[in-house]
Structure 1
């Protein structure tokens, strides 16, 4: 089997932690193409939190941005996406819920699509299929 991709999950800590837990759990499935390595930091936007995120992103292959109903208001998610882009990390936006309106972080490009979260889609997206 190919080497598993190392994934950083960016998410709105205050509103979408349950979705992040479910996504991280999928990494444990036998046919998972990824290992969950790190996630958003629950800290106020002060001090060196951005430096911590930059260091965490040094050793990952792809950033999954979980998009929930209030992601457009989550400054931390927007900053994490900016860091991913600065580091030229592969990333994609994933709808955290199939039954809710999921919004993009403010730093997302207009061309960034929010993908539907299904197991087959997730495996393809992590493999670079977008």
Structure 2
């Protein structure tokens, strides 16, 4: 059974890499299906509560880390919510040719993993 994935990412800077990641869910040997992700449009009411409800329907949270993720308050909040809900998560470097940063709410023990297809399959399977 495929894992249901929530992708947390910096919408202002990493939309293109997020599209590539969701596209990988369509590959024949993909271990995951794209379920939900960060939103740019303002959610009416308590957006954090709505993200909490969205995370109820996923198995793992992928935090896609780009060059400015450390400044993305939404990504920091989504990581906090994932931790509060006890959702397994991992940090994935969005680029191999640029320095990638962790969200403000990541800990020093949160490893930033290199994005390769083999790595992604292992990480989704819980090998971290």
User: Counterparts of 2:72 and 2:43 in 1: how far apart (Å)?
Assistant: 11
Q: Is there any run of 5+ residues in structure 1 with no aligned partner, and where?
A: none
Q: TM-score w.r.t. structure 1 length? A: 0.95
* Match of residue 93 from structure 1: 91
Deviation at 1:41, TM superposition (A): 1.4
2:72 is aligned, of 71, 74, 87, to 74
Q: Is there any run of 5+ residues in structure 2 with no aligned partner, and where?
A: none
* Match of residue 62 from structure 1: 60
Report the CA distance shift for 1:110/1:46 in structure 2 as closer, same or farther (over 3 A).
farther
For 2:115, what is the secondary structure of its paired residue?
coil
RMSD: 1.2
Deviations 1:86-126 (A, max 9, x none): 00000000000000000000000110000000000000000
Task: Show structure 1 runs of 4+ deviating over 6 A.
Answer: none
- State yes or no: 1:39 paired with 2:37: yes
For 1:36, what is the secondary structure of its paired residue?
strand
Q: TM-score w.r.t. structure 2 length? A: 0.97
- State yes or no: 1:105 paired with 2:103: yes
